[in-house]
C-alpha cells in the first residue's frame, strides 16, 4: 500500500501499531484519511485478520464512508470487520448473548415514538399530569441518567433523599420494568445493557477482548460516560486502542459528551503515545491564524497550533451592523456580489448562527432578493411547528370556516380532544352545514362527546371568540400576546427544560419581532393584512429548492462540513456566547470551541458580523460585541463597517436606541387607530416603575412550573425579570406572560 501520499505526521500515526494511541486531529487535518489508512495498513502489512479489527463511529454516514475508503485501498474486506456506530456494535453483541441478562435474542428496539407511547402508559398508571411534566422532559431525563450509567436503583441511591426527585424515581423504575416486560430496549439501553452484560459475564467480555485486538474510535472527544466505559472494557486486555479526536472541537456537552475522556487519555492509559495532526488542508492561512487566536484563550487545553502551507488569502471581513436587518442585508449583498461576478456559486456560501431563531432575518432578505436558500438540519422559519401552530390560531380568529387550521390546533396544547371527538364534530357539522368551530357552542348537544373533551372544546372556543372580538380594535402584537397567554405555549415549552424547547421559545419571540416589523411598516396594521403578508412569505418558502442555494445552519449543524465562503453572524454577548455562559467558565469554554469550529469551516473567505442593536424576545435592545471578537487578532480583520472605530470591542458600550417593547405597552393603552389621550398615555418609565412595584429586586415569587424563587433584577423594559429559582437556578422570565404570583 502506498503511504507516500501522507504527510510525515500522518504516516507516523498510520504506522503506529501497538499500544494506546491518541491522534489529536486538528480541523481539516485528514483524520479520516489517517484512520482508514491505519486499518488498511494493519491488514496489508501486518497480516492482522480483518475480523480482529473494530472501528466505532458516531453516525452511519461516517461508518459507510470509512468502509468505502478502506475498500478503495485494499479491496472488499470490511464485511469481515466490525465497522459501525456505538449503537450498532452493541446490538450485534446483545443479539448473541442478551439471554444472559434476561432478554431473548429477538428483543425489540424502541425508537423515540415507542418510548413516548410507553411513557404515556406509565404516566396514566402513576397519575402524572403531562402538562405539568411533559413527556419530553422525562425522555430527556431518563436518557441523561442512562448516558451517565445510572440505572433506576443507582439513580435512587444518589438522589433518593431529594424529595423533588421522588416522582421521577418512581417513573424511571416503572418505565424500565415495562421495557423488560415487553422484551424491549430503548437506544440508551443498548449501551447500558452491553456494559451490564460485560460486568456480569466475564467469559463474554473475555471473548470480545480476545477477538478484537485492534479497536479504533473516531471523534473521541464526543464520547459520554457510557461510551467511554464500553471502550475501556473492550480495550482493557490488548491495550491496542487507537482514538482520534480534538478537544478543541468538543461542542456536545449538552448531549452528554465528556471532554475529560480525551483530556485524560494518558491517565487512563499510562504510556500512551500522543500524535498531533496540525497541518490543515482546508483553510487559507489567515483563517487558521484567526481560529488559533480565539481558541488560545481556553485554559487547560492541549497545546496545538493549526498551520497550512497555503497562501494567507483575503483578510477576514468584519461588519458591525445597526441591527439584525442591516446584518442580513450586508451578508446577502456580499453573496449577491460573489454570485454576480461568478466568483462563487450561492451554494458555496454558508451562513452560520448560534440559534435557529436567527435564520429569520436572513431568510426574509434572501427571499426579498429572489435568492434560493436551504436551511440545513432544521426547518425554514415559517415551517417550524410552533410558528405554524400560532399562525393556525390567528387564521382561525380571522376565518372561523378554516377547518384545516381548526384540526391543527384544537388539541394543541392537549385538551383531551381525540380523533373520535373530531369524527363526532364532523358528523354534527354535516347536519348543521357549518364549520367545525361554529359547532362548538352546541357541543353539549352532540352525542358521544365526553365531559373532558367537551370542556376542552369549550375552552378552545372561548379563546378564539375572545380574540375575534379584538380584531378591529387591537394591534396584532396585543392579539399575539393575549393568544400566547391564553394557550400557554411558553409555559409548556419552559416545562420541557430541553434544548429543543428553548429553541421553540426563541422562535416564538422572534415571530413577535416579525409582527412588530409589520406594524412599523403599516399605518393601519391589522391581523388580516398581517396573515396575508405572512402567507406570501411562507408560500415563497415552499417553492421547490433549486440545487444552487445559500446554506443556512446552526454552528452545531456545521460540524464536519466545509464551505468556500462562511459568514459567522450574531457575535454578541448573551447570544454567542449564549447567556448560559455568562457566569459559567466551562460553558464559556465550550462556546469558544464552538466559535473555533465555525471559523474552521471556511476554506477561502470568512466574514464575522454582529449588531449594535437586536430585536430579541419582543424587545429592541442594545447589544455588546462578543468576547470572541475581542480575542481575534485585529491585524487579520478588514473593516467593512461604516464606523472606523467599530473594532474597538473592549471599550464599545452601545447605547439603547429604542425600546419597542415599551412602545407596545404604550400602544396597548390606545384605541386601534387613535392617539393616546392624556388620561391613558403610558411611558416606558411608567411600565418599568410599575413592574418594580410588583416585582422589584428581592421580591419572592412562585412560578407555576419552577416553584419558588427570588427576583434578582428587573430589566429596563420593566417586564423581564431575572429570577433565582430553588429548583432550577437562574432564569429570565417575562412578568406579563409567565405564570407567576408574588409571595408577600
Catalytic residues: 31-32, 218-219, 249, 601
Task: With CA atoms as reference, report the closest residue to 6 among 41, 56, 57.
Answer: 41
* CA 390/CA 234 separation, integer angstroms: 51
Give residue 211's Cα distance to chain centre: 39
* CA 348/CA 360 separation, integer angstroms: 20
Instruction: Phi first, then psi: give them for residue 13, nearest 5 degrees.
Output: -65, -40
Task: With CA atoms as reference, report the closest residue to 558 among 363, 335, 351.
Answer: 351
* CA 319/CA 331 separation, integer angstroms: 9
DSSP string, 346-388: GGGEEEEESSGGGHHHHHHHHHHTT--EEETTS--GGGSHHHH
CA contacts within 13 A on the Cβ side of 151: 10
In our burial notation (b when 16+ CB lie closer than 10 A, e otherwise), range 426-455 reads eebbeeeeebbbebbeebeebeebeeebbe
Q: Are 452 and 443 in contact (CB under 8 A)?
A: no
Instruction: Using CB atoms within 10 Å of the CB of residue 151, give its burial: 0 to 12 exposed, 13 to 18 middle, 19+ buried.
Output: middle
* CA 379/CA 362 separation, integer angstroms: 14
Cell of 565: 465562503
* CA 330/CA 340 separation, integer angstroms: 15
Position of cell 415495562? 178
* CA 35/CA 23 separation, integer angstroms: 9
- Angle, helices 135-147 vs 489-496, to 10°: value is 20
* CA 720/CA 617 separation, integer angstroms: 9
Q: Are 51 and 78 in contact (CB under 8 A)?
A: no
- 3-class SS of residue 38: helix
Query: What string of H, E and C letters represents the secondary structure of 399-434?
Result: CCCCHHHHHHHCCCCCCCCCHHHHHHHHHHHHHHCC
Q: C-alpha distances in angstroms, 710 versus 242, 244, 568, 688, 707?
A: 50, 46, 37, 18, 10
Q: C-alpha distances in angstroms, 343 versus 50, 357, 503, 599?
A: 46, 30, 35, 21
Peptide bond connecting 465 to the previous residue in cis, omega within 30 degrees of 0: no
Q: Are 562 and 387 in contact (CB under 8 A)?
A: no
Number of H helices, E strands in the chain: 30, 22
The beta strand positions in 177-315, using DSSP E, are: 184-186, 214-217, 241-245, 273-277
Neighbour count for residue 559 (Cβ, 10 Å)? 19
Of the chain, the end-to-end C-alpha distance in Å amounts to: 78
Amino acid at each position: 500500500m502506498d503511504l507516500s501520499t501522507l504527510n510525515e505526521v500522518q504516516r507516523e500515526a498510520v504506522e503506529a501499531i501497538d499500544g494506546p494511541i491518541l491522534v489529536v486531529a486538528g480541523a481539516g487535518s485528514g483524520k479520516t484519511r489517517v484512520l482508514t489508512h491505519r486499518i488498511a495498513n494493519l491488514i496489508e502489512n501486518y497480516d492482522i485478520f480483518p475480523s480482529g479489527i473494530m472501528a466505532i463511529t458516531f453516525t452511519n454516514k461516517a461508518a459507510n464512508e470509512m468502509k468505502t475508503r478502506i475498500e478503495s485501498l485494499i479491496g472488499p474486506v470490511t464485511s469481515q470487520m466490525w465497522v459501525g456506530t456505538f449503537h450498532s456494535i452493541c446490538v450485534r453483541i446483545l443479539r448473541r448473548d442478551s439471554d444472559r441478562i434476561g432478554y431473548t435474542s429477538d428483543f425489540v428496539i424502541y425508537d423515540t415514538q415507542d418510548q413516548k407511547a410507553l411513557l404515556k402508559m406509565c404516566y396514566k398508571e402513576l397519575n402524572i399530569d403531562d402538562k405539568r411534566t411533559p413527556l419530553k422532559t422525562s425522555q430527556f431525563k431518563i436518557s441523561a441518567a442512562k448516558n451517565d450509567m445510572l440505572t433506576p436503583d443507582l439513580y435512587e441511591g444518589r438522589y433518593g433523599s431529594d424529595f423533588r426527585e421522588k416522582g421521577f424515581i418512581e417513573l424511571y423504575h416503572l418505565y424500565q420494568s415495562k421495557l423488560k416486560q415487553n422484551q424491549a430496549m430503548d437506544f440508551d439501553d443498548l449501551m447500558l445493557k452491553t456494559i451490564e452484560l460485560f460486568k456480569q459475564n466475564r467469559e463474554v467480555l473475555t471473548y470480545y477482548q480476545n477477538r478484537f485486538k485492534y479497536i479504533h474510535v473516531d471523534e473521541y472527544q464526543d464520547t459520554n460516560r457510557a461510551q467511554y466505559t464500553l471502550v475501556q472494557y473492550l480495550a482493557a486486555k490488548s491495550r491496542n486502542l487507537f482514538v482520534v479526536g480534538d478537544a478543541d472541537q468538543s461542542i456536545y456537552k449538552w448531549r452528554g459528551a465528556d471532554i475529560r475522556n480525551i483530556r485524560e487519555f494518558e491517565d487512563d492509559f499510562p504510556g500512551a503515545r500522543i500524535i498531533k495532526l496540525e497541518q490543515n488542508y482546508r483553510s487559507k492561512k489567515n483563517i487558521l491564524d484567526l481560529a488559533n487566536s480565539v481558541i488560545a484563550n481556553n485554559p487547560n487545553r492541549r497545546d496545538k497550533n493549526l498551520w497550512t502551507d497555503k497562501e494567507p488569502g483575503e483578510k477576514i471581513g468584519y461588519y458591525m451592523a445597526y441591527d439584525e436587518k442591516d446584518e442580513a442585508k450586508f451578508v446577502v449583498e456580499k453573496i449577491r456580489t460573489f454570485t454576480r461576478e461568478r466568483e462563487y456559486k450561492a451554494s458555496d456560501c454558508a451562513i452560520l448562527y448560534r440559534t435557529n431563531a436567527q435564520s429569520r432575518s436572513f431568510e426574509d432578505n434572501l427571499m426579498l432578493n429572489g435568492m434560493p436558500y436551504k436551511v440545513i438540519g432544521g426547518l425554514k422559519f415559517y415551517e417550524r411547528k410552533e410558528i405554524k401552530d400560532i399562525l393556525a390560531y390567528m387564521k382561525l380568529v380571522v376565518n372561523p370556516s378554516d377547518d384545516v387550521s381548526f384540526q391543527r390546533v384544537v388539541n394543541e396544547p392537549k385538551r383531551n380532544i381525540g380523533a373520535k371527538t373530531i369524527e363526532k364534530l364532523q358528523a354534527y357539522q354535516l347536519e348543521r352545514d357549518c364549520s367545525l368551530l361554529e359547532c362548538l357552542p352546541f357541543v353539549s348537544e352532540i352525542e358521544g362527546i365526553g365531559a373532558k373533551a367537551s370542556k376542552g372544546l369549550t375552552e378552545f372556543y372561548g379563546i378564539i371568540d375572545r380574540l375575534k372580538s379584538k380584531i378591529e380594535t387591537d394591534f396584532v402584537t396585543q392579539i399575539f400576546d393575549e393568544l400566547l397567554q391564553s394557550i400557554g405555549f411558553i409555559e409548556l415549552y419552559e416545562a420541557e427544560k430541553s434544548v429543543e424547547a428553548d429553541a421553540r421559545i426563541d422562535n416564538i419571540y422572534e415571530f413577535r419581532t416579525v409582527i412588530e416589523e409589520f406594524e412599523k411598516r403599516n399605518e393601519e396594521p391589522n391581523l388580516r393584512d398581517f396573515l396575508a403578508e405572512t402567507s406570501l412569505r411562507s408560500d415563497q418558502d415552499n417553492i421547490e429548492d433549486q440545487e444552487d442555494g445559500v446554506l443556512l445552519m446552526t454552528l452545531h449543524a456545521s460540524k464536519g462540513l466545509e464551505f468556500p465562503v462562511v459568514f459567522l453572524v450574531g457575535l454578541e454577548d448573551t447570544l454567542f456566547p449564549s447567556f448560559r455562559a455568562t457566569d459559567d467558565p466551562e460553558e464559556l469554554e465550550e462556546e469558544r470551541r464552538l466559535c473555533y469550529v465555525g471559523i474552521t469551516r471556511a476554506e477561502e473567505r470568512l466574514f464575522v458580523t454582529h449588531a449594535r442593536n437586536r430585536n430579541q424576545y419582543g424587545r429592541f435592545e442594545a447589544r455588546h460585541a462578543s468576547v470572541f471578537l475581542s480575542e481575534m487578532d485585529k491585524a487579520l480583520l478588514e473593516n467593512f463597517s461604516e464606523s472606523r472605530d467599530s473594532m474597538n470591542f473592549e471599550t464599545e458600550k452601545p447605547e439603547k436606541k429604542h425600546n419597542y417593547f415599551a412602545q407596545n405597552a404604550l400602544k396597548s393603552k390606545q384605541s386601534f387607530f387613535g392617539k393616546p389621550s392624556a388620561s391613558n398615555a403610558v411611558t416606558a418609565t411608567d411600565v418599568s416603575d410599575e413592574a418594580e412595584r410588583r416585582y422589584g429586586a428581592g421580591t419572592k415569587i412562585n412560578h407555576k412550573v419552577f416553584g419558588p424563587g427570588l427576583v434578582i433584577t428587573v430589566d429596563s423594559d420593566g417586564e423581564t425579570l431575572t429570577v433565582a429559582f430553588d429548583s432550577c437556578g437562574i432564569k429570565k422570565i417575562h412578568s406579563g406572560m409567565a405564570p407567576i404570583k408574588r409571595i408577600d
